[in-house]
Amino acid sequence: MKKIVLSFATLLALTAVFAFSIASNWAVKSDYSIKFSGEDASGIFKTFTGNIVFDEKNLATSKFSVNIDVNSINTGNGMQNKHAKGDEWFDAAKYPQILFNSSKITKTATGWQATGTLEMRGVKKEVNIPFAFVPKGNEAVFSGSFTVNRNDYGIGKPASGNAGVIKIDVYVPVTKK
């Protein structure tokens, strides 16, 4: 009987340790914002989905997998939206999604960094995305800014200097699942 009680206690202890080592799953709230700005255009992407697993105390199990719907682009100008979705720019008919999948998340001096593959227009590049994480109970906000060179992804006509650089501003409020 003593062995059964000890075995049960050991099982409970291991279950508790395992439960606390699993990263938190976060659901994206509807008031997110994915903005972009550059010399040629600026605007937002209105449709964003993602699988966010993040625990600031257990980065090894943390992972971001996000998807932006290219057809949701809004520059504030109908003709510019149509042009951005066309085959010279994003080619939304052929490449309807922008994807990011992290391979690792690390702590930095100023916050966090997600390293992973950004795919636009069928081109995959490794990028580092710095971000802040501000938790408040069962809710939190991920936010950050980074740049990409649209020339690297074959978006639009080739541009020289800073003309190809696009700044991305991300604000993603979440709740624990």
Residue 84 tokens read as 């951005």
pLDDT in tens, 148-177: 999 999 999 998 888 899 999 999 999 999
- Number of CB atoms found within 10 A of residue 129's CB: 21
Q: d(Cα 91, Cα 44) in Å, to the nearest integer?
A: 17
Residue 5's pLDDT is what?
A: 39
Decide if 97 contacts 109 (C-beta within 8 A). Answer: no
How far apart are alpha carbons 145 and 108 in whole angstroms? 15
CA 3/CA 27 separation, integer angstroms: 42
For 61-86, give the DSSP string: G-EEEEEEEGGGEE-S-HHHHHHHHS
Global pTM?
0.85
Of 113, 105, 175, 170, give the one whose Cα is nearest residue 143: 170
Query: Which of 28-32, 55-59, 157-161, 170-174 is least confident?
Result: 157-161
Domains of the chain, with CATH numbers?
A: 23-176 (2.40.128.110)
Please report the pLDDT score of residue 162 as a whole number: 84
pLDDT per position as a tens digit, 70-126 = 999 999 999 999 999 999 999 999 999 999 999 999 999 999 999 999 999 999 999
34-51 pLDDT, tens digit per residue, is: 999 999 889 999 999 999
Residues 94, 20: Cα–Cα separation, whole Å: 43
The answer to whether the CB of 129 falls within 8 A of the CB of 158 is no
Cα separation, 94 vs 110, whole angstroms:
38
